[in-house]
Structure formats: structure tokens, C-alpha cells
Amino acid sequence: METEVKRLVYHHTPIQQIHSPLLEHHGVELLIKREDQNHLSVSGNKWWKLKYNLEEAVRQGHKTVLTFGGAYSNHIYATAAAAAEIGLHSIGIIRGDEILPRNPTLEFAHQQGMILHFVSREDYKNKISPAFVNRLNETFGEFYSIPEGGTNDLAVKGCSEFAQTLAPISFDYLCLPVGTGGTMAGIVAGLSGRNIIGFSVLKDGAFLSKEVADLAPDRATTKWQINLDYHFGGYAKTTPALINFIRTFEQQYGIPLDQVYTGKMMYGIFDLMEKGFFKKGATILVLHTGGLQGRSSLLD
């Protein structure tokens, strides 16, 4: 059974250094770990968050995985692709009413064989309640459940494993976007003694620090913080300034970003650089977490 999971291909990714007069002026070296290139459809942190969840689903003998997300969810997109690749069925519980024609995210998930089950926003809020889970079992039978965003202990295990591959790299700061806290927790757990900065993509993201602390306990030697200043209005919200920044960044450096996660993080890094947050001579390692399937039409 384990060989089935091994069919989820991982492509080793480069570290790309970007150069500009701005970076030279501030005396900062910027390296980008291109995890957006680790898989065509299960890209970035999603690959690491799903790895051990899928292994566990297979180990328990499940034929179907079920998960949750919004209509534009990177997690829904990645789970549908990953399940199809290793021969599992998939079900996506989607927040909100079905709208036809489907958007590109849901159309892709549908093409991968994922059953899309739409529920009201009120029901979605109660998605982990025993009554709601019982209704899902009555409707779909047995399944292996993966939380919204993929965040659980197995996701943290996968992200921690990835973090350990970064340990030999010389850097002063590691930066990454934060949505549910699972990837951040794994990075914190796997990089003892390093300085890690997460950039919340949520408007009210103060709770994320507790989420990370709960998921990655006993990491007192790791210096980490979550910056709350660059959410641009909240999850999936944008401003003209953010869109213009992403376009300019891509034109200058040839690296695509999305407006939900990586664009906000990169904007924050450059803004903090301008404010003198990073010491001169510092090396910043940026984790590109993928999510490019969710790029706004404004960017393409």
C-alpha cells in the first residue's frame, strides 16, 4: 500500500537569489526557495502538508479522503490532484452555494474526480461538530478526513521534515506567509535556533501565534514571530498597491507571486527592508509556498 503514496512525485527545487540596487542599498541578500516548483498541481507547502495525511489514509485502508475549503481554496485544488495521483477518491466540502459555471479552482478539482459538496456558510461553521460529521458519513460512507487548509499534527510533521532540509543553508531570517499556522508550526519545529518571521494573510490574525505555539510546543530555542501588518484587508483581499507591487516584482525578477499569500509576504519583506528592520549584511531566505493557481485575473 505504501508504494501508492510514493507515486506522489516531489521535484527538488532551487534556491534563487535576486539582485537589485535596492537590496544592495540596504545591504541585504535575498534568497527564494522555489517550493512553487515542487509539483505541478500539489505545489509549495501543500505537498508537505498532505504527504503524511495521505500516507495515513492509505495505512488505515481508506479509499476516500474528504476535506474542506472555500470556492478558491488552494487546499481543495491540491488535495484533489494529490488524491487522483495516488489512486484515492476525494470529496470537497465547499463553503457557500454552488455557482455555475465553476471557477477554475473548482473546475480543476472536478476534473480530478473530486466530488464537490456545497454547504451553507452556517453549516460550514459547524463542520467539525459530531452531528455534521455524522451527516457526512451517512451521505458518503467511510472516509479519511483532512482539516480545512490541511493543518493537523501530520501536516506539521511534513513541514518540519521540509524545514530540516533548510537547516544547512546560511541565513539570518526565514520568511513565509501564514494562513492557518500549520506550515509555520512545522518550520518552527524543524528549525531549532533560527529566526523565523511569518506574515499573516488574515485581518484578525493575532490568534495564529497561539495556534503555532500549540502545534509546535517546546521550541524555546527557535526565535519566531508573526507580523500582522500586511493582510491588505483580510484573506484574499487586495488593494491596487498590492497588485502593482506584484506586477513590478514579477517584471524585475521573473518570479510569479499570488495575491493571497506570497505577494503579501513579499510586500511586507520589502517594506520592512525600507524601514530598516533587517540588519545590514543579513541574508533573508524566503519560502515560496506556491498557490499560483489562485492568482487573480488582474495579474494574468
The neighbouring-strand residues paired with 227 are 199
Which cell goes with 148? 480545512
Helical residues (DSSP H) of the chain, grouped into ranges: 2-6, 21-26, 45-59, 74-86, 104-111, 121-125, 130-140, 153-166, 182-190, 208-215, 240-253, 262-274
The reply to whether 146 and 157 lie within a common domain is no
The reply to whether 163 and 35 lie within a common domain is yes
Cα separation of 121 and 92, whole Å?
A: 14
Split the chain (300 residues) into runs of 10 and give each run's mean pLDDT. 60 96 95 97 96 95 96 95 96 96 95 98 94 96 96 95 95 96 94 93 95 80 89 95 97 96 98 95 97 84
> Quick one: pLDDT at residue 4?
42
Of 150, 183, 212, the last residue of a domain is 150
User: What CATH number is given to the structural domain containing 134?
Assistant: 3.40.50.1100
Domain count, the chain: 2
The reply to whether 204 and 69 lie within a common domain is no
Residue ranges making up the domain that contains 223: 2-40+153-299
The reply to whether 32 and 11 lie within a common domain is yes
> Quick one: pLDDT at residue 192?
84
The neighbouring-strand residues paired with 18 are 30
- Contact between residue 110 and residue 102 where contact means Cβ atoms under 8 Å apart: yes
Of 112, 132, 150, the last residue of a domain is 150
The reply to whether 66 and 195 lie within a common domain is no
* Single-letter amino acid code for the residue at 132: F
The reply to whether 28 and 168 lie within a common domain is yes
Of 121, 150, 179, the last residue of a domain is 150
Cα separation of 167 and 185, whole Å?
A: 15
Selection from 213, 136, 203 nearest residue 182 by Cα: 213
Tell me the CA end-to-end span of the chain in Å, nearest whole number: 41
Q: Are strands 15-18 and 29-33 parallel, antiparallel or unpaired?
A: antiparallel
Q: Is the peptide bond before 240 cis (omega within 30 degrees of 0)?
A: no
The neighbouring-strand residues paired with 257 are none
> Quick one: pLDDT at residue 172?
96
> Quick one: pLDDT at residue 219?
62
> Quick one: pLDDT at residue 257?
97
> Quick one: pLDDT at residue 1?
38
